[in-house]
Amino acid sequence: MLTGNQMHHFRVFGFVVLRQLFSSDEVETICTQADEVWTEGLGHAPAPDESISVAPFLELHPSLIKWIEEDRLYVPMTQLLGQDMIWSGSEGILGTTTKRTYHHWHADRPGPLELGYLRIKIMMYLEPMRKNTGALRVIPGSHRSPFHEELMAFQQSHATEAPDFFGVKGADVPAYPVETDPGDLVVFNQNLFHAVYGKVDRRRYLAWKYAARPTTDAHLSSIKKHSEYAYTPHEQLQQSDSPRIRRLIDGLVQWGEQSNNL
């Protein structure tokens, strides 16, 4: 359960860190199970320099899937997104699929039209992350207008070969490095500008994504544009009789059809 201070932190800065939400035993078990999913995906045990990105991820393992609706994640998400929030998918990333040591400044849901619709991503890194070795960096408050719009030039340049961010290198942009140890969760608003610098080879993370229930055609179109996969929840979720899972996926398939006509 989030405290009032944590809720304020999330609302004002656009992120909150939940320290040691998982015990070391749980982290160890999650690592083993995650490695099983990556092994299955690759068809063999991952070599040290191999990378793979799997989405959806938690849905693929009979023991990982429970973390979607487990109290320690589910309850804070309902506090931020409402009891009628929806599921928006999961990811499991091993290594660095781009082969780049950086991921320049961007927001996952960028632009003024995206700001009114809250979507959240939760990251759990399975290795310790420090500022210069791949920790997620965030620009606190950049999920809010007009700061968000003032940073939109970053979005345009982030995919270019040698971008410059208001005349400085990406790694030198004023920001907060979210240093974590396994078991910590980083919860962030997907409108928030974030980046990573100094990725090292052995790097694994899991991501959970939840969103507020869409209430307008603009929300439906935005889901279609940025996360169309959310409209086809994994069959393990569709077959689930857990009330929480049923509520998380309620409406998704119909909205997917509706969004085709927008």
State the residues that interact with ligand AKG by CB under 6 A.
103, 108, 136, 194, 196, 205
* Choice between 16 and 196, CB closer to ligand AKG: 196
Minimum CB–partner distance for residue 75 and ligand AKG (Å): 24
Helix (H, G, I), strand (E, B) or coil at 228: helix
* Choice between 194 and 234, CB closer to ligand AKG: 194
16 φ/ψ angles, rounded to the nearest 5 degrees? -150, 145
* Choice between 196 and 245, CB closer to ligand AKG: 196
* Choice between 77 and 196, CB closer to ligand AKG: 196
* Choice between 120 and 245, CB closer to ligand AKG: 120
Give the integer Cα–Cα distance in Å for 153 and 156: 5
Give the integer Cα–Cα distance in Å for 208 and 88: 8
Minimum CB–partner distance for residue 107 and ligand AKG (Å): 8
Q: At what angle do helices 217-227 and 252-260 cross, to 10 degrees?
A: 90
- Let me know how long the chain is: 262
* Choice between 196 and 237, CB closer to ligand AKG: 196
Task: List strand residue ranges (DSSP E) for 114-253, in order.
Answer: 119-125, 136-138, 176-178, 185-189, 194-197, 204-211
Minimum CB–partner distance for residue 124 and ligand AKG (Å): 11
Whether the Cβ atoms of residue 18 and residue 184 lie closer than 8 Å to each other:
yes
Helix (H, G, I), strand (E, B) or coil at 222: helix
Minimum CB–partner distance for residue 165 and ligand AKG (Å): 15
Give the integer Cα–Cα distance in Å for 100 and 11: 32
Give the integer Cα–Cα distance in Å for 53 and 178: 22
Minimum CB–partner distance for residue 93 and ligand AKG (Å): 7
Whether the Cβ atoms of residue 188 and residue 146 lie closer than 8 Å to each other:
no
* Choice between 94 and 136, CB closer to ligand AKG: 136
- Torsion region of 167: left, alpha or beta (phi above 0 gives left; psi -120 to 50 gives alpha): left
Helix (H, G, I), strand (E, B) or coil at 235: helix
Minimum CB–partner distance for residue 151 and ligand AKG (Å): 15
Minimum CB–partner distance for residue 244 and ligand AKG (Å): 25
Give the integer Cα–Cα distance in Å for 53 and 97: 7
